[in-house]
Amino acid sequence: MNEAPSHSRAWRRFRRSRSAWIGASLVGLFVFAAIAAEFVAPYAPQGAEGRSGAALARPSADHWLGTDLDEYDVFSRMVHGSRLSLLAGIVSVSIAIAIGGPAGAVAGYFGGWTDTLVMRAIDVLLTFPGILVAMLVVVSIGPSWEGVMLAVGLINIPVFCRQVRATVLTVRNLEYVDAARAVGASTPYILTRVIFPSLINPIVVLGTLGLGTAILEVAGLSFLGVAGEMDAAEWGSMLSEAKDHLSTTIWPAVAPGVAISLTVVGFNLLGDGLRDALDPHLEGK
């Protein structure tokens, strides 16, 4: 039988995890900021209406985290930057799941030469540093946020492919899968209706953990200047703009740096909490 824990027991384990609640609170804070940026941020993040008239101003009652070189309010840009940073992370992880998940499921279910072909392709991809693959992808299609999201999604494909393959290898010969074959169920039906429910928990956990990594990777590529619109409100581009003025003021760099760190920590804690809650081996403990 499939060993997925009941929803009620999983929720009880998650509810008892203090670190999971801290992670969920941090993630919820930035999700709220992204959704309600127009109401939370006191100034526009870019454009003439967002300029304060003072460059690199120190924190004050009017500008809580000061202003940057272009006279924009740092706090407002940080809040609005959560939109692009979170969106880029979600899209990147979705790309990795959409490609790596089916590839891993096919490799694990069929085995043989299919498994060998898929996994050797994954091994080839892993031989190159992730940042190099991302840079090549972005350069080949031109600097843009779409290119950055695609690049980060591609370098995370092996993670999901291997996890899904391992899970399928575990469940493909279980009794309920054999029963589906015995009654004449087709391979697509078995993969999508019988085996897929067993993949939901590991994909959710790995996807949550991967979001923090993806946001960090997107910020890194943006910091290197390959994201196209460098004046866009995004944490990596904010760090890139601020690095040359650290001797004057640190606030334009501290704000996005802290935002990136807290977001990554939040997703990691939330992912760990989900893993502990959804792990069938903890059932009854």
Q: Give pLDDT, residue 151.
A: 92
Whole-structure pTM value: 0.89
The predicted structure's pLDDT at residue 2: 44
**34-38, 49-53, 139-143, 144-148, range with greatest mean pLDDT:** 34-38
Helix axes 18-35, 251-278, angle to 10 degrees: 130
Q: What is the mean pLDDT of residues 210-214?
A: 94
- The residue ranges of every structural domain in the chain are 7-26+80-282
- Strand residue runs (E) in the chain: none
pLDDT for the residue 50: 66
pLDDT tens digits along 29-68: 999 999 999 999 999 888 766 677 788 888 888 888 988 8
Pull the structure tokens for residue 59. 């924190």
Range with the lowest mean pLDDT among 44-53, 78-87, 250-259? 44-53
Instruction: Look at residue 194 and tell me whether its pLDDT is greater than 70.
Output: yes
Instruction: Report d(CA 100, CA 117) in Å as an integer.
Output: 14
Homologous superfamily assigned to 7-26+80-282:
MetI-like (1.10.3720.10)
- Helix, strand, coil shares of the chain, percent, nearest 5, are 75, 0, 25
Q: What is the pLDDT of residue 280?
A: 55
209 bridge partner residues = none
- Segment 215-249, tens digit of pLDDT: 999 999 988 888 766 677 889 999 988 888 888 88
Q: Which of 268, 123, 153 is nearest to 206 (CA)?
A: 268
Identify which of 186, 205, 191, 189 has the alpha carbon closest to the alpha carbon of residue 4.
205
Confidence of residue 149 (pLDDT cuts 50, 70, 90): very high
pLDDT score, position 107? 96
Asked if pLDDT for residue 165 goes beyond 60, the answer is yes
Instruction: Give the helix ranges, DSSP H, for 142-184.
Output: 145-155, 157-171, 175-182
